[in-house]
Amino acid sequence: MMKNPDDTLMAEFIERVDGIKGCRFNFPLLRQSVNGKPLVYLDNAATSQKPQVVIDALMRYYQEENSNIHRGVHYLSEKATQSYEASRAKVRKFVNAASVQEVIFVRGTTEGINLVAGSYGRKNIRQGDEVLISAMEHHSNIVPWQILCEEKGAKLRVIPMNDDGELLLDEYERLLGEKTRLVAIAHISNALGTVNPIKEMVAVAHRKGIPVLVDGAQAVPHRKVDVQDLGCDFYTFSSHKMFGPTGVGILYGKKQFLDAMPPYQGGGDMIKSVTFEKTIYNDLPYKFEAGTPNIAGGIALGAAIDYMGMLDMEAISTYEHDLLNYATEALRGINGVRIIGTAREKAGVLSFVIEGIHPHDIGTILDDEGIAIRTGHHCAQPVMQRFGVPATARASFAFYNTKDEVDILVKGIHKVIEVLG
């Protein structure tokens, strides 16, 4: 059937003011005003806002199902366990893991990385070995490896990047040596927006028998992730950056790796039987889930996945790509603005500096206009050093952001220049 041109126009209009499929309506927080102006929330790489269905899921759990999971035989415990495990199954499907046994609930990306460093790393990395990370990592994918390397007398090595913020893949291949025991890299850089060619990088490492961990915190909100297609051995991400609640995240790991790894923390739920002489650990994934988890958070993450599925990940990627291009072009047109991170493949993030004006001042003046951006080093100080700036201003997008909001940002930047330029 032919599409009515009026319908197409109407759809474009709705997107312009209300995000993809008019979804802004679903985010109660976005309706507020800040400093007397409508809120323009462009700090999504720090944390995303939550749709009503996620807020409702949290409330429903506490109002109707609250009880401890995997323990009770009573009705509520059964119900809560079902909801929690249903959420794990949604996550499995969301990233296309082979089995729910490979989906471990953690507190967030940071804990996911620490789990692998503390368990896999401690067991397999020895004196003189090397761990390979990249020049664009978030501190959470640097410091756990530094701690491990210091403890083991191993060496942390770094894949360099070019002036556009793209990893040098020739250097990467060269750095993958006899002593490399693990590669740990971001899927998408939180400070630059660079999308790294993970599938190719994994293939190269695997040819040399080296496992790969991927920090997916900035990727899952923006694009379809298929861990089996990527081929990586570990993939970790946070719920709160993908429209779910804080305090919960996921570590995906290939079963053969997880099976061979010692527990990360000891406690309840991660055991089969305990005597003072010997403890038998539980099966996957519970072996890595000691203690009562963030049950409400896990369940609400499932609601966030359902919500994103409804909008459709492919459509989200296309919409955001268009929005980022629109914003990039608009900022390029402003005298004195320099974009930090100009990789060919980018998603979600637009970092910039303004000649002679400190990002902190940019942030304060934009805030006065109701615009929320992040200013600072974005927990990626080595990236700032690489580009020779103390900090950047960063606008980061989600599917509820609109071209109208980009226009407001551009006006705000002109105001910054007017006040401080």
Partner 1 sequence: MSALRELYQEVILDHNKSPRNFRRMEDATRAVDGYNPLCGDHYKIFVKVEGDVIQDISFDGAGCAISKASASVMSSVLKGKTKEEAERLFQQFHKLVTGDIDAEKNLEALGKLAAFAGVSEFPVRVKCASLAWHTMHAALEARVETISTE
Judged by CB under 8 A, does residue 368 bind partner 1? Answer: yes
Residues in the interface with partner 1 (CB under 8 A) total 16
Judged by CB under 8 A, does residue 46 bind partner 1? Answer: no
Closest CA to 391 of 407, 378, 404: 378
Identify the burial level of 376 via C-beta atoms within 10 angstroms of its C-beta, where 0-12 means exposed, 13-18 middle and 19 or more buried. middle
Nearer to partner 1, 139 or 206 (CB): 139
Among 359, 380, 402, 405, binds partner 1 (CB under 8 A): 359
| Residue 415 C-beta: closest distance to partner 1, Å | 9
| Residue 384 C-beta: closest distance to partner 1, Å | 7
Q: Hey, which residues does 185 pair with through a beta bridge?
A: 214
Nearer to partner 1, 100 or 420 (CB): 420
Judged by CB under 8 A, does residue 294 bind partner 1? Answer: no
The H or E element that residue 251 is part of is strand 249-253
Q: How far apart are CA 324 and CA 398, in angstroms?
A: 10
| Residue 356 C-beta: closest distance to partner 1, Å | 9
Phi, psi dihedral angles at 285 (to 5 degrees) = -85, -5
Among 364, 372, 387, 404, binds partner 1 (CB under 8 A): 364
Judged by CB under 8 A, does residue 109 bind partner 1? Answer: no
> Which three-class secondary structure state does DSSP give residue 374?
strand
Between residue 174 and residue 193, which ones bind partner 1 under the rule CB under 8 A? none
| Residue 263 C-beta: closest distance to partner 1, Å | 34
Q: How far apart are CA 393 and CA 338, in angstroms?
A: 10
Judged by CB under 8 A, does residue 420 bind partner 1? Answer: yes
Nearer to partner 1, 35 or 82 (CB): 35
Give the list of residues 6+ apart from residue 132 with CB closer than 8 angstroms, or none: 157, 158, 159, 172, 175, 176, 180, 182, 183, 184, 210
Distance in Å from the first CA to the final CA of the chain: 54
Which residues belong to the active site? 379
Nearer to partner 1, 261 or 365 (CB): 365
Pair type for strands 374-376 and 234-238: unpaired
| Residue 411 C-beta: closest distance to partner 1, Å | 14
| x-or-dash string of contact with partner 1, 329-358, rule CB under 8 A | ----------------------------xx
Give the list of residues 6+ apart from residue 272 with CB closer than 8 angstroms, or none: 280, 281, 282, 283
| Residue 113 C-beta: closest distance to partner 1, Å | 22
Q: Are 340 and 190 in contact (CB under 8 A)?
A: no
Judged by CB under 8 A, does residue 152 bind partner 1? Answer: no
Judged by CB under 8 A, does residue 360 bind partner 1? Answer: yes
Between residue 373 and residue 412, which ones bind partner 1 under the rule CB under 8 A? 375-377, 384, 390-391
Q: How far apart are CA 71 and CA 10, in angstroms?
A: 52
Nearer to partner 1, 262 or 390 (CB): 390
- Residues lying near partner 1 in the complex (CB under 8 A): 357-361, 364-365, 368, 375-377, 384, 390-391, 419-420
